[in-house]
C-alpha cells in the first residue's frame, strides 16, 4: 500500500474537491440529446452492420467504464472481447440456438465477468485503508460483492459504448458454466452476462416495449 498522508493527502483532497466544483460549473447537466443517446431512446440490438469496431474504441470504453463507482473502488469486472472466428465458435457452444447468429454477426461480443480475487488487489485500488480482512475466508461476501459491483460495471460499460457512438445488445441466454469452462478454466473469473457491440442494423428493430410509470415503480419513505 502506498497511500498519501499528511500535507500531500490534504492537497490531493483539495484538488479533487475543486475539480468536482469545476465540473458542475462547466456542465450543469447532460443535454436531452445526450440522455436520449445513452438511455431514453437507446435500444437493445440484435442485428449488426458489417462495420468493424476499432480496438482503440474498445480501450476508450473501458477507460470510461472504470471511472464508475464501485464499493471500496473494488473494480471486480473483467472483460473479454470476442472478435475472432475461433473465439466466436468457442462462445457459440454456450449459447441457446436462437442467440448464435446474433452473436456471430456482431463485430465484438464482450464477456462481462468478475474476479473473485478482486479483494486481493485492494491495496492498489483502495490504498488508504487495508480492507482485505473484511473478505478473507468469507466466500459468500466475496461472491456477493464481486457480482453486484461487476454487474454495475457491466451497466457502465453499456452506457459508455453508447456514449461513444456504438450500439449494444446484452444477452443472458447462455450457459455461464460453459463460458467459464471455455474462457476462464483454472482462474478466479466468473462470467456474468454477454454484450454484443457494434453498429446496429436498425431494420431488425420492433416497437419499444412499455415501461412502468413513476407511480407504478417508485415510492417515498
The answer to whether 148 and 156 have CB atoms below 8 angstroms apart is no
Find the CATH number of the domain harbouring 101.
3.40.109.10
Beta bridge partners of 200: 48
pLDDT in tens, the chain (221 residues): 678 888 898 899 999 999 999 999 999 999 999 999 999 999 999 999 999 999 999 999 999 999 999 999 999 999 999 999 999 999 999 999 999 999 999 999 999 999 999 999 999 999 989 999 999 999 999 999 999 999 999 999 999 999 999 999 999 999 999 999 999 999 999 999 999 999 999 999 999 999 999 999 999 99
Position 114 scores a pLDDT of: 98
Helix ranges (DSSP H) in 40-82: 55-65
Strand (E) or helix (H) holding 89: helix 85-92
Q: How many domains does the chain fold into?
A: 1
- Residue 155 in any domain: the answer is yes
Backbone angles phi, psi at 168, to 5 degrees: -135, 155
Position 3 scores a pLDDT of: 83
CA gap 101, 171 in Å, rounded: 12
Position 221 scores a pLDDT of: 97
Domain span at 129? 43-203
Entry field: residues in the chain: 221
- Residue 34 in any domain: the answer is no
C-alpha cell at 149: 459491483
- Residue 27 in any domain: the answer is no
- Residue 181 in any domain: the answer is yes
- Residue 193 in any domain: the answer is yes
- Residue 135 in any domain: the answer is yes
- Residue 54 in any domain: the answer is yes
Position 6 scores a pLDDT of: 86
- Residue 164 in any domain: the answer is yes
Position 2 scores a pLDDT of: 74
Amino acid at each position: 500500500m502506498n497511500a498519501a498522508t499528511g500535507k500531500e493527502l490534504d492537497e490531493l483532497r483539495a484538488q479533487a474537491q475543486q475539480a468536482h466544483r469545476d465540473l458542475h460549473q462547466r456542465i450543469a447537466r447532460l443535454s436531452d440529446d445526450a440522455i436520449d443517446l445513452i438511455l431514453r431512446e437507446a435500444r437493445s440490438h440484435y442485428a449488426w452492420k458489417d462495420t468493424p469496431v476499432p480496438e482503440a474504441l474498445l480501450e476508450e470504453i473501458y477507460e470510461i467504464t472504470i471511472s464508475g463507482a464501485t464499493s471500496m473502488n473494488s473494480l471486480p469486472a473483467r472483460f473479454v472481447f470476442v472478435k475472432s472466428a475461433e473465439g466466436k465458435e468457442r462462445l457459440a457452444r454456450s449459447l441457446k440456438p436462437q442467440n448464435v447468429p446474433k452473436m456471430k454477426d456482431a463485430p465484438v461480443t464482450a464477456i462481462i465477468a468478475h474476479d473473485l480475487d478482486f479483494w486481493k488487489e485492494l491495496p492498489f485500488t483502495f490504498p488508504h485503508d487495508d480492507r482485505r480482512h473484511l473478505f478473507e475466508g468469507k466466500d459468500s461476501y466475496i461472491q456477493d460483492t464481486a457480482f453486484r459491483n461487476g454487474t454495475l460495471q457491466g451497466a457502465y460499460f453499456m452506457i459508455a459504448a453508447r456514449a461513444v457512438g456504438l450500439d449494444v445488445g446484452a444477452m443472458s441466454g447462455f450457459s455461464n458454466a460453459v463460458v467459464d469452462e471455455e474462457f476462464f478454466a483454472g482462474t478466479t473469473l466468473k462470467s456474468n452476462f454477454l454484450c454484443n457491440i457494434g453498429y446496429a442494423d436498425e431494420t431488425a428493430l420492433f416497437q419499444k416495449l412499455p415501461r412502468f410509470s413513476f407511480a407504478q415503480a417508485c415510492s417515498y419513505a
